[in-house]
Structure 1
Amino acid sequence: MSQPIFLVGPMGAGKSTIGKLLAAQLQLPFADSDKVLEERTGADIPWIFDVEGEAGFRRREHDVLLDLCNGLPQVIATGGGIVLLPENRQLLINSGLVVYLSASLDQLVERTAKNSNRPLLQVDDPRAKLQEILQQREQYYREVADLVCDTDDCTPKQAAQMVAEHLLGSTLSP
């Protein structure tokens, strides 16, 4: 691969886990935009949301994406809401190959249920919030995607393998 590979999708789709596995398979560096943001600020995402609100977080997220769009071959797991800003969608489209990791609402609820590090899900009805997020962002994920990978019926290792085979031009084995 001669360009960055961006993984986009909702919270719980497996971007970080699949991204690490994919990077290992492709022998590329891995970056998680949320982790880069936390390292730069010295604060975790819930704290940034509390202090700066979602708008402040999105500005910081955009700055991190700008830096990661450096043309270097690497696998990059993005935050779930990175597609909300039109300028981020344009950056993704113009800067590399974008893989949308999709998952059903049931899977997303199950995968995010025990994680308190997701500020948008700290509500009375996380399922309803996830459904709202999906409805809001689905069109954007598809707009930027060069490839869509459904992660529902596979392990992270299988999903990473499917993406790697597609990227390398192989036919997917049954």
Structure 2
Amino acid sequence: MSEPLLTVADSLKDRARAALGSRNLILVGLMGAGKSAVGRIVASQLGIPFIDSDHEIERVSRMTIPELFAAYGEDEFRALETRVMKRLLKGGPRVVSTGGGAFINERTRRHIIKGGVSVWLKADLDVLWERVNKRDNRPLLKTENPKQTLEGLMNARYPIYAQADLTVLSRDVRKEIMADEVLKAMIEAQKESAAS
């Protein structure tokens, strides 16, 4: 009997899984970029665990992110985030979605760079705004003009996110398409690395 033919999707998953090896895949980017939604799908496709770092922070602190910000401020939240990320990235492989500010913190960014392959889900302002303005759980957007605040965060953070290993454009398409694009970016990066 002949072996069954691999579908294009199976081949993509297998090649991406091989490209990742035992490393972690860490999704970075602004709030609303799709890190958690896309990350869950990527993890499922690769057959590895998915961890949302914000959920892990909430679990260990027994507080929500807005409660942490209100009670302790952003600096203390970032210190906790760094400790949690350091712990999460010790094992692998897994897919980890980060909070929007995680990669901005230099100490956390070093852990991410050391801990695996970082992928920036880059989105334009209109896409981000459409996704985040429906919720009231974004502490950094509790301002007089939240869209302007979001734009300011983009201007400040995008040069830092650009330090990620890979960049995938997050846009208004199905999450499954975005997940496939993350897998393709991993495969392409491995090809380029092998060629050099």
Pick from 81, 84, 97 the counterpart of residue 61 of structure 1.
Answer: 81
List gaps (5 residues or longer) in structure 1: none
Q: What's the secondary structure of 2:162's corresponding residue?
A: helix
Equivalent residue number for residue 144 of structure 2: 124
List gaps (5 residues or longer) in structure 2: 1-19, 192-196
Equivalent pair of 2:27/2:118 in contact (CA under 8 Å): yes
Distance 2:177 2:63 in 1: 33
1:89 deviates by 1.5
Pick from 90, 97, 101 the counterpart of residue 110 of structure 2.
Answer: 90
Q: What's the secondary structure of 1:6's corresponding residue?
A: strand
Distance 1:5 1:98 in 2: 6
Equivalent residue number for residue 78 of structure 1: 98
The alignment yields a C-alpha RMSD, in angstroms, of 1.5
**Cα offsets for 1:30-64 (capped at 9, x unmatched):** 00000000000111000000000011110110111
The number of residue pairs the alignment matches comes to 170
**Cα offsets for 1:121-161 (capped at 9, x unmatched):** 11121110001111111111111x11100011422110001
Q: Is 1:33 matched up with 2:33?
A: no
1:108 deviates by 0.6
Equivalent residue number for residue 108 of structure 1: 128
Distance 1:40 1:32 in 2: 13
Distance 2:66 2:172 in 1: 30
Distance 2:172 2:148 in 1: 22
Structure 1 pair 14–56 and aligned structure 2 pair: CA distance change class (3 A): same
Equivalent residue number for residue 178 of structure 2: 159
Question: Which residue identity lines up with residue 23 of structure 1 in the other structure?
Answer: A
Which has the greater radius of gyration? 2
Q: What's the secondary structure of 1:109's corresponding residue?
A: helix
Question: Which residue identity lines up with residue 64 of structure 2 in the other structure?
Answer: D
Equivalent residue number for residue 153 of structure 2: 133
1:78 deviates by 0.3
Equivalent pair of 1:25/1:164 in contact (CA under 8 Å): no
Q: What's the secondary structure of 1:31's corresponding residue?
A: strand
Equivalent residue number for residue 14 of structure 1: 34
Equivalent pair of 2:127/2:172 in contact (CA under 8 Å): no
TM-score by length of 2: 0.83
**Cα offsets for 1:61-107 (capped at 9, x unmatched):** 01111101114100000000012221111111111000000000011
Distance 1:9 1:116 in 2: 19
TM-score by length of 1: 0.93
Equivalent pair of 2:28/2:98 in contact (CA under 8 Å): yes
Question: Which residue identity lines up with residue 174 of structure 2 in the other structure?
Answer: T
Equivalent residue number for residue 99 of structure 1: 119
